[in-house]
């Protein structure tokens, strides 16, 4: 996933999450990307530099990040929800460490209690799990696990 800074023709700035830059261009070409504030599809990418100067004083402050604005697939609200969900999962899931592939299989095949687990697995192991139809998701590192 990449995060792009976008701006509509009304100068509303927002973030969009896309699989890649070309995915954004493709969606934009089909008018699938719209401003969460005014729904305009006349969007342009802003340079992803840490500082971008806008003209004059901020007469139109950026909208609050999480409002009850209608969610579309590319809206920042959805991205935030996904991040929150992943964070929640990474906190509540049982840490099974390196037994992750083994436990995931046992849960998948009903040999043990179904629950959310997390842990470590190599890329090969994850691929094997996915091949077997077992859902595995990359999680952000949980903050409370760093020490």
Over the window 34 to 63, marking each residue x when it contacts Zn ion by CB under 5 A and - when it does not, the resulting string is: -x-xx-x-----------------------
Contact indicator for 37, 8 with CB cutoff of 8 Å: yes
Q: Listing from the earlier edge strand, what are the strands of the sheet with 13-18? A: 13-18, 2-8, 43-45
Instruction: Give min distance, CB of 31 to Zn ion, in A.
Output: 14
Cβ closest to Zn ion, residue 69 vs residue 128? 69
* Using rule CB under 5 A, residue 33 touches Zn ion: no
Count of residues in contact with Zn ion, rule CB under 5 A: 7
Radius of gyration of the chain (CA): 20
Q: Among the residues of the chain, which ranges form H helices?
A: 21-29, 76-92, 100-108, 123-131
The three-state secondary structure class of 145 is helix
- Contact range with Zn ion by CB under 5 A, out of 10-18, 54-62, 67-75, 117-125: 10-18
Contacts with Zn ion, residue ranges (CB under 5 A): 8, 10, 12, 35, 37-38, 40
């Amino acid at each position: 996933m990449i995060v792009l800074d976008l701006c509509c023709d009304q100068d509303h700035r927002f973030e969009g999450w896309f699989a890649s830059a070309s995915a954004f261009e493709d969606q934009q070409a089909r008018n699938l990307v719209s401003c969460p504030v005014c729904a305009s599809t006349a969007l342009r990418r802003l340079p992803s530099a840490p500082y971008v100067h806008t003209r004059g004083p901020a007469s139109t402050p950026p909208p609050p990040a999480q409002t009850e604005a209608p969610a579309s697939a590319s809206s920042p609200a959805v991205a935030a929800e996904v991040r929150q969900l992943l964070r929640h999962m990474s906190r509540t899931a049982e840490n099974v460490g390196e037994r992750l592939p083994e436990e995931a299989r046992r849960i998948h095949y009903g040999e043990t209690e179904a629950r959310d687990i997390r842990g470590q697995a190599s890329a090969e192991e994850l691929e094997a799990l996915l091949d077997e139809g077992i859902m595995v998701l990359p999680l952000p590192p949980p903050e409370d696990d760093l020490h």
